[in-house]
Structure 1
Amino acid sequence: MAHLPPGGGDAKPYGAAVALAAPLKDGDCVVADWPGAAFQGTPKLAVDPTCAEKVPDGQVMAVVAATSAEAARQHGPAACEQRTQEIREKLADVRSYAVVPTRAGFEAAGRRTACLVLGAHGAVYGPLDRHRTPGMWFVDTANMQKRDCLDAPSLRRAQLVSCAGPHDQQVLGFTRLSAGTTLKKAAAQSDAACARDVPPAQYGYDPGVYEAASWAAKGAWHSGTHLVVCSVQRQNGGTMEGTEP
């Protein structure tokens, strides 16, 4: 018993409300159950070990060490904002959230705050950024990121591939369709919206060779955000070879 960490060997790292028995680590996908509205109060978290089994709400993108529980509480949230800024700028609709250890659970948490990137209005549906692997198929657009390169064998399927090799499209940014637009109508309107709001020419693509393309998915309509992923492709349907802007 003398070798148990301070606070007791069974102390929950982040307290009873978060309810995790083990500390979060970089790359863990999580499901967040908020007590009320999202980002109000403390969420109960569960780890999704496959990052697909439970439709993850977000992922641990960094961990930040602290000298004490008080220091973690005081500095952890700001540190997480800083550590996740780059990835948040690549995604359409996410927020940073710091999971700070309690005083009793500080040692059990490894003296670290876990920095989550969570969907701001819904799930992210899969891994994010460096935790994704080439060849991964997207099940939703929520974890598509700026400058992702895609193979698109159909209008409904997209696969993450290396930008160094042949690919069909590259993600440039995002736009939002009006609240009254149904997902079915989005298929007919989203290309034009992307051409207007995220024109490929602004990124150096020759308008005589390239054109705007788009992706819309159920997640953005379930959440009410109506966000669309805007990409670029060759007008002749040919592949892009990694030499584009």
Structure 2
Amino acid sequence: PRDGSPTATRRTPLDALPSPVRRLPVLLTLAAALVAGGGFGVGALAFGGADDGTRSPEVRAKPVATPSALPSPTVTRSAYPYGRQVGLRDGLGAGQCVDADWKGEDFEGRPGLKLVDCRDDDPQGQVIATVAAERGAPATDTEAVRGECARRTAELRATMPDPVLYVLTPESGQSEPPASACLLFLKHATLGGPLGDFRRFGDEVYITQLGPGDCINSEEDEDGSTTETLVSCDEPHDEQIAGWTWASGEGSSDSVDTGGLCEEKYGVDWARGKGHEMWGWSSTDEEWDAGFRHVMCSVAREDGKKLPAGGMKPAY
């Protein structure tokens, strides 16, 4: 049973999984591919007239080939298309999840990346979209690619707490490079699983996978933790996500009235006078102590019954 100031963690199904905090830096290398042309000569045999009326062959001088320096060939696809430091041998695709190893500051420089399972693991980042270079433009045109990645991820980022957009461009010198990858990470937290449209109804989810407008069913486990399942708002459901708030100060997650924080920020719009109440959900103690002090706020019925199908709208 819930009390008046609920706090739930998001590690119910995957408590045994490590929450890796491995990071490493990114330096986009721009190298120019040297392409030079080489010449070659062709010998020709021509026939000219003779005084006696007969034809005899006239041999002309054979042009001499002009030596030229051989260029460094442009490869079709490098063995490490994003660079050896990244460590991937294939191009990334939308929906794939990764762990990142940053050598310096998080999200700076070029990281080492490892593909992980989006659902069985606890990924640090996910490829939300890919951007192919426009015809005639270099694949490493980071400014243009970053702008397109920002546009394609804007709607999802608006639902996330402290998202980080990281753009991974291919290494230069490839005639057929992979598309640039638009990855999303969170500051001080792992994703917990797939994001946005890559989730499925019926998935067990962590709060870091959720955002305003999502609907969930919650089930309390024997150990007191709670399992949240993503469901369609078109069906009756336990809770609907209203948004995020921030817990200031330096206290532990147990010392914070997360429900009170959510009531203060969203109660007037979502709960007051409607037979509804606000709930607050925090992440793991480890991530809380690392700086992820975001609280997910949801609205539920005071009597514990399900919200009706169709989804709720704020009053204001």
| Match of residue 181 from structure 1 | 251
> RMSD value over aligned CA atoms?
2.0
- Decide which of 97, 102, 115 is 1:34's aligned counterpart: 102
- List per-residue Cα deviations over 1:71-129 (Å, max 9, x = no partner): 633311111111111000011121111111121346241xx211111112221111001
Any idea what SS the aligned residue of 2:149 has?
A: helix
* 8 Å Cα contact 1:12/1:105 also seen in 2: no
Q: What CA distance in whole angstroms lies between the structure 2 residues aligned with 1:106 and 1:91?
A: 36
| Match of residue 28 from structure 2 | none
Tell me the matched-pair count: 233
Percent of aligned positions that are identical: 30
- Decide which of 257, 269, 277 is 1:202's aligned counterpart: 269
Q: For the pair shown, which has the larger CA radius of gyration, 1 or 2?
A: 2
* 8 Å Cα contact 2:247/2:293 also seen in 1: yes
Any idea what SS the aligned residue of 2:273 has?
A: coil
- Decide which of 165, 170, 176 is 1:101's aligned counterpart: 170
- Decide which of 216, 219, 235 is 1:150's aligned counterpart: 216
| Match of residue 134 from structure 1 | 201
Q: What CA distance in whole angstroms lies between the structure 1 residues aligned with 2:164 and 2:139?
A: 23
- The CA deviation at 1:157 is 1.7
| Match of residue 283 from structure 2 | 217
Range with greater deviation from structure 2 (170-179 or 160-169): 170-179
Equivalent residue runs for 1:22-101 within 5 Å: 22-48=90-116, 50-67=117-134, 68-70=137-139, 72-101=141-170
- List per-residue Cα deviations over 1:148-179 (Å, max 9, x = no partner): 10101226221111100010000011111133
Task: Say whether 1:235 aligns with 2:302.
Answer: yes
Alignment TM-score, normalising by the size of structure 1:
0.87
Task: Say whether 1:18 aligns with 2:98.
Answer: no
Amino acid at match of 1:164: D
* 8 Å Cα contact 1:6/1:107 also seen in 2: no
- The CA deviation at 1:53 is 4.1
Distance 1:42 1:216, change over 3 A: same
Q: Stretches of 4+ moved more than 3 A in 1? A: 8-11
Q: What CA distance in whole angstroms lies between the structure 2 residues aligned with 1:83 and 1:23?
A: 19
* 8 Å Cα contact 2:189/2:292 also seen in 1: no
- Decide which of 166, 169, 179 is 2:239's aligned counterpart: 169
- The CA deviation at 1:208 is 3.0
Q: Gaps spanning 5+ residues in structure 2: where?
A: 1-72
Distance 1:80 1:224, change over 3 A: same
Task: Say whether 1:119 aligns with 2:186.
Answer: yes
Q: What CA distance in whole angstroms lies between the structure 2 residues aligned with 1:152 and 1:10?
A: 47
Any idea what SS the aligned residue of 1:7 has?
A: coil
Alignment TM-score, normalising by the size of structure 2:
0.69
Any idea what SS the aligned residue of 2:141 has?
A: helix
Any idea what SS the aligned residue of 2:209 has?
A: coil
- The CA deviation at 1:52 is 3.7
| Match of residue 14 from structure 2 | none
* 8 Å Cα contact 2:140/2:172 also seen in 1: no
- The CA deviation at 1:216 is 1.1
